[in-house]
Structure 1
Amino acid sequence: MTELLKVGKIVNTHGVRGEIRVISTTDFAEERYAKGTELWIEHPDTKKNTPVVVASHRVHKNFDLLTFEGYHSINEVEPFKGSTLLVTKDQLSELEENEFYYHEIIGCTVYTDQDEELGKVKEIIETGANDVWVIRRSSGGKDILIPYIKDVVKEIDIEARTIYIQLMEGLVE
């Protein structure tokens, strides 16, 4: 089977007509959840993957609300709560130069421009203005929050899984 990538987490049901509430981990929710798109639902306990086809998508209070073809009631989607929403790697579209998918950034090791290892990117937070990368320190201690802006992020090497940044005053305590 082709590699599957996480695009969201099903956190709850919504209403009684089979709608689910998703916290997305994708930059491209409109494309990812377009009507007719095939997704996979991975159950947290069994790790069994269930294929589903998106019937509808809308945004409500920072959540993506989805319905799937063939699932018309809360009882049918209730078992999906807590599951992970996945797409196949071949469903990803080509990005412009200097654009990256979250899965390409998360797990990369971050170094300062002085070659000091800071840690690995563990999460990406969307703020509206720019993404913020959460770095788990190699040395332990509090996570470092790095804004994804040109002044800070200087070089990204996806193949080598490395990122070089220029530390701005106040970024690291």
Structure 2
Amino acid sequence: MEEYLKIGTVISTHALKGEVKVYPTTEDVRRYDDLDKVFIGPQPCAECLHVERVRYFKNLVIVKFRGLDRIEDVERLRKRDLFVSREDAIPLGENEYFIGDVIGLKAVTDDGRELGCVADVMETGANDVYIISKKDDPKSELLLPATKEVILEISPEAGIMRVHMLPGLED
């Protein structure tokens, strides 16, 4: 499991006083209210920045980092990802997982057949959908709804997602 979790991406600067616009990639956007520090970069531990203030605008988060007070100071942050350490992450409920912990798991049917690996997670209004890169044809995908009828077990520790294939899911 990853030590750092992605929570957003800086999409642009905002105004002239060192603020940035962040597209949040976390389910609970208000989690930004409790941030003291984030790690920014293409890799999680590239640079640690301390959060001075946060506000919200439409579907974006406006973040001001301590010590970065001019637009010139934050221009370099564009298109960089924001991460938090796992210890600073919001606690998960029962049967909840971080997307980063699910991606890469082997999808195995309840009868032991390996389907492939979880390539991505599509968030929809009703439930998430796991995108499986098929083992026998990696360019082909299988879409599995994240419902209790289909997803029997998720075990990041074991690297496995156990699934029940309902009729029509492989068509």
Q: TM-score range by the shorter chain?
A: 0.7 to 0.9
- Number of residue pairs aligned between Structure 1 and Structure 2: 169
SS at match of 2:33: coil
Report the counterpart of residue 92 of structure 2 in structure 1.
95
2:75 paired residue number = 78
| Aligned amino acid, residue 88 of structure 1 | S
In structure 2, C-alpha distance between the alignment counterparts of 1:128 and 1:58, rounded to whole Å: 25
Query: Cα RMSD (Å) of the superposition?
Result: 2.5
Please state whether the residue corresponding to 1:34 is helix, strand or coil: helix
- Determine the C-alpha separation between the residues in 2 that align with 1:15 and 1:135: 41
* Aligned residue number for residue 112 of structure 1: 109
Do the aligned partners of 1:43 and 1:80 also contact (CA within 8 Å) in 2?
A: no
Relative to the length of structure 1, the TM-score reads 0.81
Q: Is the 8 A contact 1:27 1:101 kept in 2?
A: no
What is the aligned counterpart of 1:125 among 122, 130, 136? 122
Q: Which residue does the alignment assign to 1:5? A: 5
Residue 140 of structure 2 is matched in structure 1 by: 142
Contiguous gaps of at least 5 residues in structure 2: none
Residues 145 and 63 from structure 1, CA distance in 2 versus in 1: closer, same or farther, beyond 3 angstroms?
farther
Question: Structure 1 counterpart of 2:108, which letter?
Answer: Y
Normalised to the residue count of structure 2, the TM-score between the two structures is 0.82
C-alpha deviation, 1:19, in angstroms: 2.9
